[in-house]
Amino acid sequence: MEGSKGDQNDARGGKKSVYRSKHERKPRLLLMGLKRSGKSSISNVVFRKMTPSDTIFLDTTTTIQKEATHTFMDFQIWDLPGQIDYLDPSFDAESIFGGVGAMVWVLDALDNYMETVNRLTETVVHLQESYPSIKYAVFIHKIDSLTEDLREDTVRDITQRITDDLFDSGLENPPISYHSTSIFDSSIFEAFSKVMQGLVPQMPILESLLNTITAACRFEKVYIFDVISKIYIASDTSPVDLRSYELCSDYINIIVDLSEVYGWHQETEFHEGEQLAALQSHGAESYVSSVKGYTLYLREINRNLSFIGVSKDPNFDKEKPLIDYDVGTLRETLLEVLDYV
């Protein structure tokens, strides 16, 4: 639903940091690209849990769609219609781009992408002059419909064309990343995870902590997941294995579904202070072994975030008491770093 004028006035914070205070962490993320590129489908699948097959019934976006997400960061997603010329001097650019943390440009890999590449480079060059803090991500979308060889060639060609165009315009190393995406697999969640990590100011600290716990507990890979969106806001610095990520994502779905069915209503069993103390001192824990050769270990950080470790250690069960202690200590530190105490 299109936001009110008051929402736009709130966005006129201009070039102030999007991390203004503990209660105002609401960075804005823009979805841009030509019409029918897949922006609305992406938004609905990732943030509204729509099944990919249902996105074929979505209408073309004709007005700016604004949606607040109540996850670990409470950020805003703005889906911008592709037919509007946002570079027109008569357009109120400040109401759209002022205070933006990241811009995702969705590019249809099945279409003739020369026009969208030109629009993208023009937009980046224009915005870099007035809003240099914006980070950019290009989603080379619908890539699953191409053969593997054609997929690699298409991604390489698009990346090279954008890089060359930006260089010719005077931007040698712009803050832009590239992601091959599809709403029919986990690639879209992986891509959004990388985008959101760029908006988390504590990222170097988080990665250092997760590297430490990975070594101490001999995990193959560890993540901090937002349990609602299945976006991971941080991981250790080893390469992401999409297979283990998909297992973790499916595991979270199971835990969330079971919690909704069997979870007790905390507000009815604790007074407010007791409830907060209970949540902060323990955190729900779960682990399961022998899942396609992995052991998955989950520990709740708070009601939005969970730690998941992926292990192949055959002695995991024997070492679990020590792992419980180490992860519990990590959880207390994470609560301080993320300022959610």
- Judge contact between 231 and 189, C-beta under 8 A: yes
Q: Which domains can be identified in the chain, with CATH numbers?
A: 5-197 (3.40.50.300), 203-337 (3.30.450.190)
The pLDDT of 173-194, averaged and rounded, is 92
Q: Specify the amino acid at residue 124.
A: V
Short-list 130, 22, 30, 151, CA closest to 80: 30
- Crossing angle of the two packed helices 242-262 and 187-197, in degrees rounded to 10: 90
- Crossing angle of the two packed helices 203-217 and 316-337, in degrees rounded to 10: 160
The pLDDT of 278-289, averaged and rounded, is 65
Sign of CA dihedral 224, 228, 230, 233: negative
Local confidence band at 172 (pLDDT 50, 70, 90 cut-offs)? confident
| Secondary structure of 95-132 in HEC code, one letter for each residue | HHHCCEEEEEEEEECCCCCHHHHHHHHHHHHHHHHHCC
Local confidence band at 65 (pLDDT 50, 70, 90 cut-offs)? confident
- Judge contact between 117 and 106, C-beta under 8 A: no
pLDDT in tens, 134-166: 999 999 999 999 998 899 999 999 999 999 999
277: pLDDT strictly greater than 80: no
Determine the Cα–Cα distance for residues 71 and 65; give it in Å rounded to an integer.
18
Local confidence band at 283 (pLDDT 50, 70, 90 cut-offs)? low
The pLDDT of 112-126, averaged and rounded, is 92
Determine the Cα–Cα distance for residues 200 and 25; give it in Å rounded to an integer.
10
Q: Which residues pair with 102 in a beta bridge?
A: 29, 135
- Judge contact between 303 and 219, C-beta under 8 A: no
Greater pLDDT, 27 or 14: 27
Q: Specify the amino acid at residue 51.
A: T
The pLDDT of residue 183 is 95
The two structure tokens encoding residue 56: 């074929």
> Which residue bears the tokens 């430490």?
212
Determine the Cα–Cα distance for residues 99 and 20; give it in Å rounded to an integer.
11
Q: What is the helix (H) or strand (E) element at residue 215, kind and residue range?
A: helix 203-217
The pLDDT of residue 41 is 93
256: pLDDT strictly greater than 70: yes
